[in-house]
Each structure stands twice: as C-alpha cells, then as structure tokens.
Amino acid sequence: MKFIKSFCFLLGVLMVCSAFSLKDGKAKSVYIVGVSASFTDSLVYFTEIQSLDSVSLDKNKMLPQRSQYSYQLKNYLENEEGLSNRTCFVYFSCNKKKLQKTINKMKTNYQKGKSLLIREVNPNAFRFEKAEE
C-alpha cells in the first residue's frame, strides 16, 4: 500500500513538472527588423519592428532561415525602390523592447557620423513573410 501511495505521489509530481516544461515550450512571438546599407551610398534603411507569425527560434535561440529574411528586404529594395548593391541584414528577438533599444542605439550611432542619412522603409509596401523551410 505504501508503494502505491509513493508511486501515485511521484506520478503527480512528474505530471506537474512536465506541465511547467510544456508551458515554457510555448511559441513566443518573434520580432524582426531589417537594415540595409551600402558602401556607395550614404542612406541606411530600416524597417519597422514586425512580428513574425508562426515562427519560433531554434534550440540555439537563432532565427531559422534568417538569410531568407535578408534577401526579402534586398529584393524589395532592388525591385521596388531601384536600390542596388545593398547589404541587408536582420535583427530579431522575442522581446520587442530589447529589440527597440538595440535599433535606437544603432540609429544613434549612425547619426553621430552625420554623413549617413536614415530612411524608413514604407511599412505599407514591405512586410516580412515567413521563410520557406
């Protein structure tokens, strides 16, 4: 009888622990910002912070297929805005405030040089789409 009670108690503890671990595995929102610069141009383009639906970070806390998001921005700027030879990169985070702080710091550093101009990418014309796996 003691064995059965101990077994039930351990089973209950195991169920509670597994419930908490499943809760942590819940998909969080991933936020992304695109940045585009060129060595031949004084303009630096920033997208607004966007939320990626149904995307989660991998086990290393990296954004899967992140190069595809950079190419999305590069293709938009080349095809729609006529801006060629641009280097595009993305910043991402699960915490929107931390990402905003990082972007604000970047913009401040770019403006210190006074030789670079910051432009915003039109949010109505460009949105990141989930990358294909």
- What is the pTM (predicted TM-score) of this model? 0.75
Residue 76's pLDDT is 95
Is pLDDT above 90 for 54? no
Q: What residue spans define the domains of the chain?
A: 28-120
Residue 130's pLDDT is 85
Residue 15's pLDDT is 53
At 73-116, the pLDDT tens digits run 999 999 999 999 999 999 999 999 999 999 999 999 888 877 78
Residue 39's pLDDT is 87
- Contact between residue 45 and residue 77 where contact means Cβ atoms under 8 Å apart: yes
- Contact between residue 66 and residue 92 where contact means Cβ atoms under 8 Å apart: yes
